[in-house]
Amino acid sequence: MGGGGLDLKPTRLVNEALMLQLAWKLVSEDSQWTILLCSRYFSNGRPIQDYFKSSIWCGIKPHIATVIANSLWVVGTGEKIHFWIDNWLGEPLVDILHIDPLVYINFTGLVSDVISNGALSVPFEVNLISTVVSMCSLCLQAIETSDHLFFQCIVATSLWSWLGNSLPLVFDVSSFYALLHSLPISCSSQLKDIYLAVVVHLIHSIWWARNNSRFSSNRVSLQAIQVWVHSLIGMSGGLSTGKCIVADSSILDFFKIATHSRLIKDVVSVCWKAPTAPWVKVNTHGSVIYNLGVTPSLII
Ligand SMILES: [Zn+2]
């Protein structure tokens, strides 16, 4: 009254405040009406989408998200707290681990499930997930996914471009499928084996370096990975049973791989006798090895 007016609040705001209070009680209290509404309109700790018509629930439902977003559970017995989706750690586990809603919709565990003799006993699966969904061990700059680790990480891109320049070849690292289809088809059989060895050994070496950093705290330098990959490719190229051509020499030399040249058969002398008229004899000779070989020649 001192500031003038009757100090009357808009009824809309008063109604919203009361509905918010009801939403808070619904989530936090154990009484007959809260148990009834929760069993009818909640599933796995969250409001269901389709529900029986109710004027009360229509008023409360829009405020449930506000209550949940601004609440923190204090763990007692944990029987009412949903392990994955409720906020009992400062942030819901599904948000911490970046788990997709379509995945965690079926996560129904309670905190009470992991309390043993008054102490938390976190399942192995949670430790595993927190290990997988975490920072990249190679660059420490991004969330580790398979695409990031093998194709997008600065360490991986450096390795792919290093080998691409050495071969020379442009690796399409947009996906595993694209990578395998960026390998040349028209090449010698030994070179084909080498290309495949490049892909296999480089991916394996990235994984090896990642595991060293993560589990042994032993960071592997880019140069060390290059030396490791280079030696593995050289070994695989040497074990190849394929054959090479002259044009492969620079790649074979880079990896220090012995050439597996095609065998040249012994030269056999033959006698040639000109045919009698009206016959004309035509001798042809020549060969093509993919698109790099000799063009056919014709001798009459
Ligand atoms: Zn990275």
Tens-place pLDDT, residues 58-93? 888 889 889 888 888 888 888 888 888 888 888 888
Determine, yes or no, domain membership for 16.
yes
Name, of 218-227, 260-269, 287-296, the range with top average pLDDT: 218-227
Asked if residue 1 has pLDDT above 60, the reply is no
Q: Are residues 86 and 67 in the same domain?
A: no
Q: How far is the CA of 134 from the centre of ligand 1 (A)?
A: 11
224-237: burial string, b at 16+ Cβ within 10 Å, e else: ebbebbbebbbebb
Q: How far is the CA of 150 from the centre of ligand 1 (A)?
A: 9
Determine, yes or no, domain membership for 286.
no
Distances from the Cα of 183 to the Cαs of 186, 199, 206, 207, 256, in angstroms? Answer: 9, 9, 19, 21, 21
Neighbours of 63 (CB within 10 A): 20
Q: How far is the CA of 102 from the centre of ligand 1 (A)?
A: 26
Q: How far is the CA of 216 from the centre of ligand 1 (A)?
A: 17
Q: Are residues 66 and 82 in the same domain?
A: no
DSSP string, the chain: -TTSS--PPPHHHHHHHHHHHHHHHHHH--SHHHHHHHHHHEETTEE-SS----HHHHHHHHHHHHHHHT--PPPSS-SSSBTTTS-SSSS-HHHHTT--HHHHTT---BGGGGEETTEE---HHHHHHHHHSSB-TTTSSSB--HHIIIIISHHHHHHHHHHHHHTT----TT-HHHHHHTS-SSS-HHHHHHHHHHHHHHHHHHHHHHHHHHHS--PPPHHHHHHHHHHHHHHHHHH----B-GGGHHHHHHTT----BPPPPPP------PPPTT----EEE----TTTSPPPEEE-
Share of the chain above pLDDT 90, in %: 13
Q: How far is the CA of 141 from the centre of ligand 1 (A)?
A: 6
Q: Are residues 236 and 224 in the same domain?
A: yes
Q: How far is the CA of 152 from the centre of ligand 1 (A)?
A: 7
Q: Are residues 151 and 235 in the same domain?
A: yes
Q: Are residues 209 and 248 in the same domain?
A: yes
Reported as a pLDDT band with limits 50, 70 and 90, residue 143 is confident
What is the β-pairing status of strands 119-120 and 297-299? unpaired
Q: Are residues 83 and 111 in the same domain?
A: yes
Q: Are residues 163 and 219 in the same domain?
A: yes
Better-scored residue on pLDDT, 33 or 116: 33
Q: How far is the CA of 213 from the centre of ligand 1 (A)?
A: 12
Distances from the Cα of 92 to the Cαs of 43, 81, 83, 98, 128, in angstroms? Answer: 17, 11, 8, 10, 17
Reported as a pLDDT band with limits 50, 70 and 90, residue 288 is low
Determine, yes or no, domain membership for 280.
no
Q: Measured in whole angstroms, how far is the alpha carbon of residue 263 from the centre of its chain? A: 45
Q: Are residues 161 and 248 in the same domain?
A: yes
Q: Are residues 80 and 111 in the same domain?
A: yes
Q: How far is the CA of 271 from the centre of ligand 1 (A)?
A: 69
What is the model's pLDDT at position 227?
A: 92
Average pLDDT over residues 242-246: 78
Better-scored residue on pLDDT, 45 or 86: 86
Asked if residue 295 has pLDDT above 60, the reply is no
Determine, yes or no, domain membership for 39.
yes
Q: Are residues 186 and 247 in the same domain?
A: yes
Determine, yes or no, domain membership for 126.
yes
What is the β-pairing status of strands 283-285 and 119-120? unpaired
Q: Nearest to residue 157, comparing CAs of 173, 144, 169, 178?
A: 173
Q: Are residues 210 and 166 in the same domain?
A: yes
Determine, yes or no, domain membership for 263.
no
Determine, yes or no, domain membership for 291.
no
Asked if residue 289 has pLDDT above 80, the reply is no
Which range of residues forms the domain containing residue 105? 75-133
What is the model's pLDDT at position 300?
A: 45
Per the structure, how many domains does the chain have? 3
Q: How far is the CA of 219 from the centre of ligand 1 (A)?
A: 13
The pTM for the full model equals 0.46
Reported as a pLDDT band with limits 50, 70 and 90, residue 107 is confident
Q: Are residues 67 and 85 in the same domain?
A: no
Share of the chain above pLDDT 70, in %: 83
Q: How far is the CA of 90 from the centre of ligand 1 (A)?
A: 27
Determine, yes or no, domain membership for 158.
yes
